A and B are shown apart, each in its own frame.
Chain A
Amino acid sequence: MLSVSFDEIIAKLNAGKLYDFPGGVHPEDKKLLTSQAEIQTVSLPEKLIIPIRQHVGTEGRLAISVGDRVKKGQPLTRSSHPFAIPVHAPTSGKVTEIGPHVTAHPSGLNEQAITIIPDGHDEWTSLTPLSDYTAHSSEKVVEALCDAGISGMGGAGFPTHIKASGTKKIEFMVINGVECEPYITADDRLMREHAWQVRQGTDVLAHLIKPQVIIIAIEDNKPEALKAMQIACQDSADIRVVSVPTKYPAGGEKQLIQVLTGREVPRDGLPADIGVLMFNVGTCYAIADAIFQGKPLVERVVTVTGEAVEKPCNVWALIGTPVNHLLKEAGYNPTKQAQPQVVMGGPMMGFTLNDADVPVVKITNCLLVPASGELIDEDNERPCIRCSACADACPASLLPQQLFWHAKAHEYDKAQEYNLFDCIECGACAYVCPSEIPLVHYYRQAKSSIRQQRDEKARAEKARERFEARKARLEREKIEREEKHRRAKEARENKTPAGSSKDKVAAALARAKAKRAGKEENNTEQDQSATQTDKQAKVAAAVARAKAKKAGGQQSDSKDNQDRSDNVADEKKQQVAAAVARAKAKKTQRDSKSAPDKNSAASEENSSAQSENRATDEVSTQSAEDSKKQRVAAAVARAKAKKAQRDSKSAPDKSSPSGIAKR
């Protein structure tokens, strides 16, 4: 939906005018705490913790193992998927651990992370720059961006190479240097000190995307950054450096697009759908590093600020630096806080960390350590007075009080009717609320609950499908089985008149046997070839075995018993009996009422063994040869049982197999 035409927008930009977005607030920006000092380097921390997933999407495959020595910039994971981007070693050192570690997430849950102890040399791996990127195909450049582990550094962490390889026609490429959130000055300092490199990154992106216009947007409370970028871009006619009026949240993607172009991103769409792509200045800097020097993304600018640190500043923090190391460097003063509190991100959209051991990740732009009373954190929420100040402040033109109402009452379907998912969680509504209701809290909770319910619903749907598919399969198999039986019966009926009386007897015996086993009758063909006496003995043995098995409470596949030679069957029986005995013993142990159960198990085993003996006796009386075979088999089985005993070391196991083996 192109509500505003390209020419119209250009005309307006040429006239130095901009559009506006509804709502917005003007919180005190407090940027002076950190905006005057240069970005500092910090000492190497004792350990670095690199979560293997730091972006939207899936994680890559591990490329190293514990104990490996890694060099700075060496990939720790490999991209195995378009949405998986690798992470790199931030310094040289030794991998000491790969395992769950608390990550930069409001839940404080653990995620897979790699721990590296630095060796202090900070030695780079061999780098392969792509300085002549214009000479290479865009696929190659995009691949280089992916391999350098670059994901959006503005906040969402969307993989940059995916954004840059889109096929939609792009009219405007926007470089976002607005940084509207109070306190944060990381992008401001980056533009002031490294304007040229930001420009270089912009050029790389422009080469890939080929937009008609490039806009670098900077809020008008950062005049130095604006000046620096203007100087860096003065030779290019395609790049416009635009000063945007200061208003929170002008830096939000949708809001900035609205300010610059007057276009609105459709609800389920992406900016690319309306011909716009947006990148953060930090991402541009990282791209320039990756292309011109071959350096992967291993460090970023982090604002460490708040009144509870003595020296608020911007620092170059290696990805994976624990938060407490940066706080120590900035002079954290715990006495200024009633209780320890560190906010990751800005005061409006950040979240309080659960643990100071959380590492800095690719999207961490600020650590805010507020003194008591600097931010409101007391729980003095009062009832909503329906003043509608929140609706006036909402940049997405929602009705926050209605959303709050329904979210609080867990009426999620109604909340969705009021477009809950269009909320960008900027916190402007909560900022203006005179009742101090933490509105965004309610929205976030409602959103995550809705997402979870959706997932559950999808899972239930899948389970239902699988259940029904299984039912259909069982039904089909049953019909097939019946059909097979019917056909076998017919075939037999056609055959029997031709056969001799001897064959008839044999067939009848075989049928009886097969019926008992509940098996197909095809096997009778095989049996017919054997002599009758032998067969009778075998049948008797099989019947006896089946009985014995029933007594033992074990239903095993009797088809095997028919088909295979006696000694194999016997052996197997022994094994099965041993397994049963083991299981029973285990069960009794677990139930901790060992004595009576064990006895019953043992007696059951005995009875099964006895009936088995009876069966084998019958066989032996009928055929001397058979009995010999049986004995050999029994010996083999005894050996096996003994082995099984040794394997399962629990004491009660010993009684039952030996009971069977004893003859």
Chain B
Amino acid sequence: MSLTVALIAIGLLALIFGLVLGYASIKFKVEGDPLVDQIDEILPQTQCGQCGYPGCRPYAEAIANGDEINKCPPGGEATIKQLADLMGVEAKPLDAAHGEEDEKKVAFIREDECIGCTKCIQACPVDAILGAAKHMHTVITDECTGCDLCVDPCPVDCIDMVPVSPTTTSWTWDFDKTPKGDIPIKMVS
């Protein structure tokens, strides 16, 4: 008798908790994967595809599913470190198979050589190239992520990747390069 009571009681409890859990899973359903968003946030968004995925978000999804974190050359060591912190794994050096970390560049079209084939426009992942068929194209420098994807499709090879030179507004004080110091600060009195 007591055994059946216990069984029924436990059974009821199981049912109630099951219902509660079931309800909670519907009510508090998480849309999408927050981890993917976090990873995507860290990636540099060049959309260059050097990692082997068609864009940064697909790579973020792949990382969330257990892919290596060292396939992003534009992000470089800094991104790998941040990803390692986020994923709780060991940071490792950049996988050379996907390219090397390089200085920041933007595409530049030698405009008098452009034949207006629109191929680079189709290749650009961020729509940073402006032009029309049989008319000269040009790059919107501010929007260019330096992904390199427009260089190969160009039939006349008129696209160069130009390094972005620092300006006085983008320059950072580099402590290591100026050990003597740029500012005097202290007086002898």
Contact = CB atoms under 8 A, between A and B. Distances in A.
Binding between chains A and B: yes
A353 to B, nearest CB: 9
A431 B187 contact: yes
B185 A352 contact: no
Interface stretch (B1-9, B19-27, B169-177): B169-177
Contacts of B185: 347-348, 376, 427, 430-431, 438-441
A586 B156 contact: yes
Contacts of B187: 27-28, 30, 182, 347-348, 374-376, 431
Contact of A107 (B126, B157, B168): B168
A578 to B, nearest CB: 10
Contact of A442 (B45, B155, B175, B182): B175
A28 B189 contact: yes
Interface stretch (A13-21, A84-92, A455-463, A618-626): A455-463
Interface string B31-66: 000000000100111110000000111000000000
B189 A467 contact: no
A580 B155 CA distance: 7
A470 interface: yes
Contact of B156 (A433, A436, A583): A583
Contacts of B45: 459-461, 463-464, 467
B186 interface: yes
A461 B154 CA distance: 27
B170 A441 contact: no
Interface string B151-189: 000011100000000111011111100011111111111
Given A351-B183, A377-B180, A466-B128, A109 B145 contact: no
Contacts of B126: 463, 466-467, 470
A106 interface: yes
A229 B175 CA distance: 43
A448 B173 contact: yes
A652 interface: no
B125 interface: yes
Given A27-B187, A105-B168, A586-B156, A470 B173 contact: no
Contact of B44 (A182, A343, A348, A460): A460
Nearest to B147: A463
B115 interface: yes
A431 B184 CA distance: 10
A349 B183 contact: yes
A379 B179 contact: yes
B147 to A, nearest CB: 9
Contact of A579 (B155, B172, B181, B186): B155
Interface string A99-121: 00001011101010000000000
A350 interface: yes
Interface in A31-82: none
A109 B56 contact: no
Nearest to B189: A28
A368 B46 CA distance: 45
Contacts of B186: 375-376, 427, 430-431, 433, 436, 438
A444 interface: yes
A404 B59 CA distance: 37
Contacts of A374: 187-188
A532 interface: no
A587 interface: yes
A107 B170 CA distance: 10
B125 A379 contact: no
B111 interface: no
Contacts of B173: 106, 441, 444-445, 448
A463 B47 contact: yes
A579 B156 CA distance: 7
Contact of A582 (B44, B47, B156): B156
Nearest to B155: A583
B143 interface: yes
B134 to A, nearest CB: 10
Contacts of A590: 157
Contacts of B115: 579
A375 B43 CA distance: 45
A373 interface: yes
A449 interface: yes
B127 interface: yes
Interface string A342-362: 010001111110000000000
Contacts of A106: 173, 182-183
A221 to B, nearest CB: 15
B56 A464 contact: yes
A469 interface: yes
Interface in B124-144: 125-128, 143
B123 to A, nearest CB: 11
A460 B172 CA distance: 19
A605 to B, nearest CB: 14
Contacts of B156: 579, 582-583, 586
Nearest to B140: A466
B157 A583 contact: yes
A438 B179 CA distance: 10
A134 interface: no
A370 interface: yes
Interface in B86-136: 115, 125-128
Nearest to A107: B171
A452 interface: yes
Contact of B180 (A373, A379, A440, A445): A379
Nearest to A104: B168
Nearest to A469: B127
A455 B104 CA distance: 14
Given A463-B47, A467-B45, A377 B125 contact: no
Interface string A453-491: 001100111111011011100000000000000000000
A609 to B, nearest CB: 18
Given A103-B168, A449-B172, A579-B115, A470 B125 contact: yes
Nearest to A462: B143
Nearest to A109: B168
B166 A107 contact: yes
A28 B180 CA distance: 23
B157 A586 contact: yes
Contacts of A427: 183, 185-186
Interface in A407-440: 427, 430-431, 433, 436, 438-440
Nearest to B119: A555
A469 B126 CA distance: 8
Contacts of B145: 459, 463
Contacts of A436: 186
Nearest to A457: B41
- Of residues A370, A464, A579, which shows the largest number of chain B Cβ atoms within 10 Å of its Cβ? A464
Given A107-B166, A379-B179, A370 B172 contact: no
7 A-B pairs closest in CB distance: A460-B45, A448-B172, A466-B126, A28-B189, A107-B171, A445-B173, A463-B45
25 contacts: A109-B168, A182-B187, A343-B184, A351-B182, A352-B182, A376-B184, A427-B185, A427-B186, A430-B185, A430-B186, A431-B185, A431-B186, A438-B183, A441-B181, A461-B45, A462-B143, A463-B47, A463-B145, A464-B40, A469-B127, A580-B155, A583-B155, A583-B157, A586-B157, A590-B157
Given A374-B187, A579-B156, 9 more contacts: A106-B183, A107-B171, A109-B168, A368-B184, A375-B187, A379-B179, A431-B186, A439-B185, A467-B55
Interface of B: 40, 43-47, 55-57, 115, 125-128, 143, 145, 155-157, 166-168, 170-175, 179-189
